[in-house]
Chain A
C-alpha cells in the first residue's frame, strides 16, 4: 500500500513539472515520514553516493561533448560520417545510433553518451531535416546501449554483488547490445521514410565519392583521432574511463586552440560553465535518487515486491515475465546503479531456483534496467536527452515509445527466453558451463 501511494506520488509530481530531483526528494520524505525514520541521514547518504571517482567521468565526458562542438571536432566528425552515409535514406540517423553504441563503449555510462552524442548530433540532424524531438528520442533510447556494450559500470556492480566473473557479464550483453543497435537502425529507417523533411544528398559518381571521402578524412583527421585515443586508452590498459575522459577533454582543448584555431578562452569558459550546469542538474538527480534508493533498501521495498512475485506463480516462464516487469518498474523508479544494487541480490536466489544462470541473468538485468531508464515517468536518461536537445516530453515521448516497443522490448524478450543469446559468447571465450 505504502509502495503504491509512494509510486503514485512520484509519478504525479513528475507529471506536474516539478524538477525531477525534487520529486525523488519528496518521495524519500514521504517514505521517511511513514516509516518514522530520522531525516538526518538523507543528505549524507546522497553525499556518500556522489563521493566517487567514477562519477567524475560524467563531468569530463559532458565537457568533452561541449568542447567537441566548440573546437570544431564534432563538425569534422559529422562531415566525415556524412561523406559515407549521407546518401542513404536515414543514414545519419543510423550513424547516430551506432555512434551512441560506440560512445557507450567509451564511457561506461549512458548519461555521458547522451551528453556527448546528443550535444553534437541533434543540431546536425536538425539541419538535415530530422525533427528535434525525434532525434532526442533516438539519442535517448540509443544511449542505453552504453550499458550493454562493455565496459559497463552496472555490469561491474552486478558481478561484484552476485560473485560472478565481470568478464563473463561484460560478454553476456554484447549480442543483445548489437541486436538492439540493428533493430534501432531499422526502426529509424521506417520512421525516416515517413518524414518528408529529411534530406538526402543526390547520387554522385564513384570516383567523385572517393574524393569527397578522402577530403573529409583529411579534413577530419585530428577529430577522428579523438575516439581512437579514448578507446585505445581504455582497451590498451593505459587509463581508467575517468582518466581517458580527462584526456579527451585535454585533447579537444589542444586541437581547438592550436590546430583548428576555433577555440578562444572565452568560448572555453562558456563551454565549461555550460557543461558544469548540465553536470550539476544531472548529478543533483542522482543525489536524490540515491537517497530514495537508500530508504527503499532500508524498508526492504524491493524485497516485498519480490515476495509478491513469488506468491503469484511458480511457473518459470510466468516468473520470468514477472521479473521482466519487476525490473522495468525498478528501472522506472531509479537509476541503473541503484537498480542493479537492489535487484541483483534480491532476485538471484529466485533465478537460480528456477534454473536461470547468473551470467544469463546479468544480460536480463542489463537489458531490462536499460529500458527502465528511458521509460517515463522516471526516465532520467530520456529527460537528459530532452534537456540537451531542447525538446519537451510530450513531443519526444511518441517516437521514443516506438524505439522501445520495436527495438528494446523484442531484445528483452529474446534475451530473457533464449539463454543462448547471452550465454554463447561467455561460453565461447570464458568456457563457462
Chain B
C-alpha cells in the first residue's frame, strides 16, 4: 500500500470517480428504459433521449478507463515474465513500461487540452437537443489527466520496488475476491 492511497486526495478521487460511475450508469439505464416505455405506452418517443444517453456514456467510459488505471486492470499482454526470468531485471523493465505509460498519457493530456479548447471556442452543439458537446468531449481530457496521475503513481510504485523496497502492489493487499465481484476482482 502506497502512502498516497491513505491520503485525503486519493480517497476524494476514489469517492468522486466511483460516484460518477454509479450515477452515469444509472442515468443511461434510466434514459434508455424511459424511451422504451414512452415508445410503447405513450406511442411518442421523446426527442434526443439517445443523445443525452450517449453523452453521459462518455463520462462512464472515461471515468471507468481512468479508474481502471488506478486499479491497474488495463488490457495488456503479460508475456514479459516469461521472457525475463530474473525478477530484478523484470521490475526494472516494468519501471520502463510505466515511464512509457506516463509519457503517452501525458501526450493524451496535452492533446486533450487542445481538444477541450477547440470545444470551448467552436461550441459544437448536438444535432437534436443542441446541447454543447464540450460537456461530453471534456471527459476525454479529464480522463487523460486522471490516467496520467495514476500512471505516475504506478511508476513511483514500480520504482520503489525496483530500488529494493518491499513490494507495494496495493491490489493484492487491499482487495480480496468477494462473491459477485469475480469480474472486477482479479488476483
Given known A18-B101, A273-B67, A277-B21, contact A377–B26 (CB-CB < 8 A): no
State whether B75 touches A282 (Cβ < 8 A): yes
Mark out the residues of chain A between 273 and 301 whose CB falls within 8 Å of any chain B CB in the assembled complex. 273-285, 287
The residue of chain B having its C-beta at the shortest distance from the C-beta of A378 within the complex is B77
Distance in Å from the Cβ of B16 to the closest Cβ of chain A? 12
* A273: B residues at CB distance < 8 A: 18, 21-22, 67, 184
Identify which of B22, B66, B81 gathers the most chain A CB atoms within 10 Å of its CB: B22
Distance in Å from the Cβ of B141 to the closest Cβ of chain A? 9
Given known A60-B29, A276-B24, A280-B60, contact A377–B77 (CB-CB < 8 A): yes
State whether A388 touches B183 (Cβ < 8 A): yes
Q: Is the C-beta of B86 less than 8 angstroms from some C-beta in chain A?
A: no
Given known A14-B77, A22-B101, contact A279–B184 (CB-CB < 8 A): no
A44 to B64, CA, bound (A): 19
Mark out the residues of chain A between 21 and 37 whose CB falls within 8 Å of any chain B CB in the assembled complex. 21-22, 25-26, 29
* B77: A residues at CB distance < 8 A: 14-15, 17, 20, 376-377, 383, 393
Given known A53-B53, A283-B65, contact A387–B73 (CB-CB < 8 A): yes
Indicate the size class of the contact surface on chain B: 35 or more
Given known A43-B140, A249-B29, contact A277–B67 (CB-CB < 8 A): yes
Given known A46-B140, A53-B54, A393-B78, contact A122–B65 (CB-CB < 8 A): no
Q: Is the C-beta of B130 less than 8 angstroms from some C-beta in chain A?
A: no
Q: Is the C-beta of B159 less than 8 angstroms from some C-beta in chain A?
A: no
State whether B74 touches A19 (Cβ < 8 A): yes
Residue positions of B touching A, CB distance < 8 A: 18, 21-22, 24-26, 28-29, 32-33, 35-36, 40, 50, 53-54, 57-58, 60-69, 71, 73-83, 93-94, 97, 100-101, 104-105, 107-108, 111-112, 114-115, 118, 136-137, 140, 178-187
State whether A69 touches B182 (Cβ < 8 A): yes
Q: Is the C-beta of A304 less than 8 angstroms from some C-beta in chain B?
A: no
* B140: A residues at CB distance < 8 A: 43, 46-47
A67 to B173, CA, bound (A): 25
Residue positions of A touching B, CB distance < 8 A: 14-22, 25-26, 29, 39-40, 42-44, 46-47, 50-53, 55-56, 59-60, 62-63, 65-66, 69-70, 115, 118-119, 122-123, 238-239, 242-243, 246-247, 249-250, 267, 269-285, 287, 376-377, 380, 383-384, 387-388, 390, 392-394
State whether A25 touches B108 (Cβ < 8 A): yes
Given known A40-B114, A280-B67, A383-B75, contact A69–B82 (CB-CB < 8 A): no
A279 to B21, CA, bound (A): 11
| A-B contact list, 23 entries, CB within 8 Å | A15-B83, A17-B80, A18-B104, A25-B108, A39-B111, A43-B112, A44-B115, A47-B140, A52-B54, A56-B28, A59-B25, A63-B29, A70-B180, A119-B182, A269-B18, A273-B18, A273-B184, A274-B183, A277-B184, A279-B60, A283-B61, A284-B68, A394-B81
* B186: A residues at CB distance < 8 A: 387, 390
State whether B33 touches A250 (Cβ < 8 A): yes
Distance in Å from the Cβ of B133 to the closest Cβ of chain A? 8
